[in-house]
Amino acid sequence: MAEFTYAIVEELGVLSETSRGWTKELNLISWNGREPKYDIREWAPEHEKMGKGVTLSNEEVAELQRLLGGLDLGASEF
């Protein structure tokens, strides 16, 4: 498996926490020294391990914000 590096540039917030202490977080992360991107994934305490996640560009975050702003979350009938 190819090695990679990452640096958490800014911790933006915790979305949730599991019973075993992992947190789902929104962070700004630089992967392999590249320009930082927004990232949502689960992290072990102290960020020593990570789960699979999704990385978004500024444009993708803006579009996600637009889409979420149009949702009526109070009227969900799943």
Residue 6 CB contacts under 8 Å (≥ 6 apart), including other chains:
29, 30, 31, 32
Q: According to the model, what pLDDT value does residue 2 have?
A: 80
For the chain, domains (ranges, CATH) are: 6-71 (2.30.31.70)
Query: Could you read off the pLDDT of 19-33 as tens digits, one per residue?
Result: 999 999 999 999 999
Q: What is the pLDDT of residues 4-59, one digit of tens each?
A: 899 999 999 999 999 999 999 999 999 999 999 999 999 999 999 999 999 999 99
Tokens of 53: 């996640």
72 pLDDT higher than 90: no
